[in-house]
Structure 1
């Protein structure tokens, strides 16, 4: 199969491309650096011509509320139209577990808008919803740091290794369209504060992590289920300890 991976040079995309190639598929990494731009439409129809599936794992360069919403609306709209015009038979996109439960987060509202556009497109589709990646821990810590102290809520998270997510995205892209959702999280549930504290300790990062239940994650309050996958979700193989050791 020919699978075009939008965002194919990034963390997840490059992994998806590699996995598909290992299994004998023609995986094409598409990104602005390869001449494909979903915001302008440049190169989209050309790269999608003859593709069996398109995978969108791209992300907004800015996480400001208006910017990220404009990115996902524009990029997804252009990608949907190009996929229709070129006869792509399967549209796969990566989104975030719990986005619809966090309307106070501008980023997660934008992911909901992306999902809605795909559902309404009329194209056969699959949505892969993942929890927070282990790889995001350092960035979360940095964004929550004030005067050298990391302030985080204790709401539940079930972080997952990016490699486990990429494996699921790759499998999904060469399978039958779900016309629905598959969720994946890691094998363990932590408090957000506990997760980041563990990672910083392993990094020998001296910053103190202070728990504040009122602290917000990308603008939203967290409880015990906001970011947790629902019943029937898939579980990644990699534990936090295993990921840190690797």
Structure 2
């Protein structure tokens, strides 16, 4: 089965459009692509600036996965995008757990996965991917620019958005099928490499803040962090990364 593209101009959010299409029975691998989002969002409802020139798209999935494995989807998507940026443009793309792609420590792509349930039954998963592509940093608010980058800024020239979309979808589908086959060890091994573990982290959970050394990933994609008291505990998708500092290699 191929991809069914649903191409739009200016929308609120491609995830919202994809979720509506999924509720109407549109099939898996329907892909909603927009030129611009006016209400793009990231995790916890944070605003995601999505001007023209970026690549903003959402994929409808109907995963045959255990509920605990759904939190692997952002990592699978991140792996696919990072490897695509490396293979197409030679960029040294890295992952920041659980859903960001960085170049030189600055965010170039964010991922938002939203699942819809009826009771315990999973109806659909919407994988939203936003890549800062063909626009300059001046298009972003001042408070965002310092921690962000774009492909135009990194490469010095615009990219073919159609080629980028096609490559991202192909890579994501390949890794998604690996996940469906239950070969999590293969996926997590590659994700660990792109995370650059161990990493010094500061995370928040609710009103609590934790600092420590991120050492590894659990089988469900949770981040295993060694705290200052010597204990190691997992952090799941309800956690927020406040700081992510790769250790300098000798």
Q: Same fold (TM over 0.5)?
A: no
- Asked which structure has the greater RCO (Cα within 8 Å, sep 6+), the reply is 1
TM-score by length of 2: 0.29
TM-score by length of 1: 0.29
Tell me which protein shows more helix as a share of its residues: 1
